[in-house]
Amino acid sequence: MPDSPVLYVLNGPNLNLLGVREPEIYGRETLDDVWALCERAAGGARVVFHQTNHEGVLIDQVHEAREKADVLVINPAGYGHTSVALLDALKTLTIPIVECHLSNPAARERFRHRSYVSPVAAGVVSGFGPLSYELAIKAALGLLQERGGTTGRSV
């Protein structure tokens, strides 16, 4: 195991527009602000932070995490409600996965109530704005520590 755990934080579509897209729902913080929060919350863990608007790229990032990450936090955004392909990619991981959302999908439109990510996630943190990321990171790293800090990487 490396000196410090490797934490992947993956972000789905439209999260690049944080701060300007529906700030009444998602807040005024930018994705760069969220990234900085993740770095602080991770303590000594190395953070690999990605955002994409493309489903196939997000799946490629999950595949990369399969080989390089010790733990994964994912905000799948809209793909969480639509992508069986993302679910299938996440099923290949043996590392802890925590699903994260800025808003509370259960309190929003009906189509947002179903998540294809939740069945493979150890837990879901939602509804706390950017604090959701901090809580998700702490939970994910806690799960890794419970495993004795051992990696589940498939390499």
pLDDT tens-place values along the chain, 155 residues long: 447 999 999 999 999 999 998 788 777 899 999 999 999 999 999 999 999 999 999 999 999 999 999 999 999 999 999 999 999 999 999 999 999 999 877 767 686 778 989 999 999 999 999 999 999 999 999 999 998 865 555 43
Catalytic residues: 26, 101
pLDDT at 28: 87
Which helix (H) or strand (E) covers residue 108, if one does?
Answer: none
Q: Which two three-digit tokens encode residue 107?
A: 């309190």
Amino acid, res. 44: G
pLDDT at 1: 42
Q: How far apart are CA 132 and CA 137, in angstroms?
A: 9
**Beta strand pairing call for 97-101 and 71-75:** parallel
8 A C-beta contact, residue 99 and residue 61 = no
pLDDT at 150: 55
